[in-house]
Structure 1
């Protein structure tokens, strides 16, 4: 049984406390199907989220089978299912793949046979068996709602919460979904609560909860609602609510609820007697002191053995990573964009190769001779140094900036773009660490491919003028700047609520890399000291420039006024950028950001 006693949810508005849910008192027995209705803004979804634990109650208490959830912890992820109004599946996946991924993330199965049986059963229950191979993006609205239900039923929840799952559907699809929810409530004593704005098909519900400004105005049988509100048609209930304050409706209901609850009990008894509702057997009573220790231990362990367990970190990680690669390769637009960037960006860099190579070949030692010849030779060498320094420094910085742009494209939308799905899966038992680890593994592959290809391809046409190990050092810094910017943009993506916010902030971050690096124009000392620690492009550029041949290094120094940092300082700083980005991503994934 689910019971709410004086439950409130309060927010601050203009410095004052406002109760969005105000002293709700209801009891919902097992195997019950209840609709939560009311005009827009009356607190329907807020109440549902409070029951789910997404909104912590400000006062009162919630009880589940006699257990105080406020004091003894929330419901286990396997006990509760939440079907939001938005889609919870990825468009490139099929129905079967979506349900399989949900099962692997929420249920620890013994073997593949048990996994397949659970998936097949859920597909059959929700009527999705015939379209199991169809992609999510081509499903109708009603089919997507069925899929959302299927993905929640994989863990056999005893409490199923549905938020506006019939909104936007045609009348036929709406009735089919309501009928499906009705049937689900008749199995194994499952409680199904459905928030709906529609007043159609109310006869399929066991009870109707009418809210007005966060307060209970009515909770009783559907066929008694018109009588209570003194209306001839159900559609007149909402206008009738506006005729009195919510406080008066709540007081009236508290006075008259007795007969309506009696009618609910009679309806329930008839339903059980007729076989329309099959309830599981009541749990065995707690053993008395006379029971032996062995029997007492067995009684305690029995519920645990039947309890659905959540998969471990590694199982969730592999499921998420496999799903991410499948989505990536099925998104032709994303694959084409990655390939275009991977191929075109290095080609852009090599456009400057002829000038760079030619200018480097013009370098020579000054010859001894008369003063005029010596002066002319020094002038030629100085001019060559300027051209060589500009070309080499520009090519290195061009590589760094392009890799920073790749990094932004890699991860700016990686988490924020699927925020709603991630929050839903986290509610269902997904470990944030497994989710973040799968993102890091996926992005690490992109970083390696992009950085190594950039370095190797450019070096084929414009060999890196480094000393012993110079090219290897250059590769390391390209990897670090790509990895650092990818990690930082991933952190931004995890902290932002929307993909648009994350993308915009990441683009600004990349845009400031070149002007604030000091590689083009030296910055004022006051600005440089403040901005330099945060500019990944500077540290990758400085570290790569420091690995050049001495003659080329001197040429670069003749054209830039910015001082170069040591290789160790560049390595440590870029490593710090990676760590800071991952920490921000960890904080963002753990933080509750349910919309």
Structure 2
């Protein structure tokens, strides 16, 4: 991992200043360059509010946010937004263009990028999310998974250092979700992209480098998936852990340590060969 690209210190926010209860209370954490942080928690824990604060859509009452060495303020927010992009849950809310390539180009037009520079940027972003073949398609006629890929391409074209996914995969079918998670993981490694995913899906959280649990506007715990899923038994485990527990209940010997999907596939293949 690289050095911190995101630093959050004592972040505090509430929607109604007349109320005593805070939506976020003294939230502090850092994220390293090239790290994937999954933020989990019940509804009302402050996850989506935190996402909006990170991209400057809301302004905190207290605390500071520093992105790529620049503190997020009212004066600096447009410059800081070049380093961070937010993908919402429903991609239809982000579509502007009449074709896929027009939609991906929209953000670049807003920063007055020249046509000569814009074309390769759009083509590269669509290639990254494997949507080049759909560049002339109407985005409204795409599948859910394809729409979300286009929404992500629109952010990637701006070449941010950080991409924030706010429940962005929740509407996708399992196959599309797995494919998009794999694509994002490849981008993380190839482009040193920093990913912050806000999610209720434990399979999505399981592919991250670190999970941060939130409750009632505070950070409850932070650690690698192996630690979180072992220590927090009340969480719905990802598919691999559920499979292990089912096999164990049937009297099968299974790996004792936390197991990733790749490790589980290797173990199952080895077990089959030994039968």
- Which category of TM-score, normalised to the shorter sequence, fits these structures? 0.7 to 0.9
Structure 2 stretches lacking a partner, 5+ long = 239-275
* Equivalent position of 2:31 in the other structure: 28
Counterpart-to-counterpart distance in 1, 2:68 and 2:84: 13
Counterpart-to-counterpart distance in 1, 2:152 and 2:44: 25
* Equivalent position of 2:76 in the other structure: 73
Say which of 44, 49, 53 aligns to 2:52.
Answer: 49
Q: Does 1 or 2 have the higher relative contact order (CA < 8 Å, sep 6+)? A: 2
Say which of 1, 4, 10 aligns to 2:8.
Answer: 4
Say which of 83, 87, 103 aligns to 1:83.
Answer: 87
**1:222 corresponds to 2:225:** yes
Counterpart-to-counterpart distance in 1, 2:235 and 2:129: 35
* Equivalent position of 2:104 in the other structure: 99
Q: Deviations over 1:221-243 (max 9, x none)?
A: 111102332458527xxxxxxxx
Moved over 4 A (4+): 230-233
Counterpart-to-counterpart distance in 2, 1:157 and 1:128: 19
* Equivalent position of 1:540 in the other structure: none
Q: Deviations over 1:382-408 (max 9, x none)?
A: xxxxxxxxxxxxxxxxxxxxxxxxxxx
SS in 2 for 1:18: coil
With over 3 angstroms needed to count, the CA separation of the structure-2 counterparts of 1:232 and 1:133, relative to structure 1, is closer
* Equivalent position of 1:505 in the other structure: none
Structure of larger gyration radius: 1
Residues 202 and 236 of structure 2 are in contact (CA less than 8 Å); yes or no, is this contact kept in structure 1?
no
With over 3 angstroms needed to count, the CA separation of the structure-2 counterparts of 1:71 and 1:78, relative to structure 1, is closer
Counterpart-to-counterpart distance in 2, 1:25 and 1:102: 30
With over 3 angstroms needed to count, the CA separation of the structure-2 counterparts of 1:224 and 1:107, relative to structure 1, is farther
Residues 42 and 213 of structure 1 are in contact (CA less than 8 Å); yes or no, is this contact kept in structure 2?
yes
Residues 7 and 21 of structure 1 are in contact (CA less than 8 Å); yes or no, is this contact kept in structure 2?
yes
Counterpart-to-counterpart distance in 1, 2:15 and 2:184: 32
SS in 2 for 1:7: strand
Normalised by the length of structure 2, the TM-score is 0.76
With over 3 angstroms needed to count, the CA separation of the structure-2 counterparts of 1:61 and 1:198, relative to structure 1, is same
With over 3 angstroms needed to count, the CA separation of the structure-2 counterparts of 1:94 and 1:75, relative to structure 1, is closer
With over 3 angstroms needed to count, the CA separation of the structure-2 counterparts of 1:232 and 1:141, relative to structure 1, is closer
Counterpart-to-counterpart distance in 1, 2:151 and 2:111: 14
With over 3 angstroms needed to count, the CA separation of the structure-2 counterparts of 1:168 and 1:218, relative to structure 1, is same
Residues 5 and 23 of structure 1 are in contact (CA less than 8 Å); yes or no, is this contact kept in structure 2?
yes
With over 3 angstroms needed to count, the CA separation of the structure-2 counterparts of 1:154 and 1:41, relative to structure 1, is same
Structure 1 stretches lacking a partner, 5+ long = 236-595
Once the two structures are overlaid, the 10-residue window that deviates more, 174-183 or 142-151, is 174-183
Q: Deviations over 1:75-97 (max 9, x none)?
A: 6132221212232114x712122
Residues 11 and 26 of structure 2 are in contact (CA less than 8 Å); yes or no, is this contact kept in structure 1?
yes
Residues 65 and 71 of structure 2 are in contact (CA less than 8 Å); yes or no, is this contact kept in structure 1?
yes
With over 3 angstroms needed to count, the CA separation of the structure-2 counterparts of 1:107 and 1:151, relative to structure 1, is farther
Say which of 119, 122, 147 aligns to 2:122.
Answer: 119
Residue 107 of structure 1, CA deviation? 5.1
Q: Which one has a larger percent strand, Structure 1 or Structure 2?
A: 2
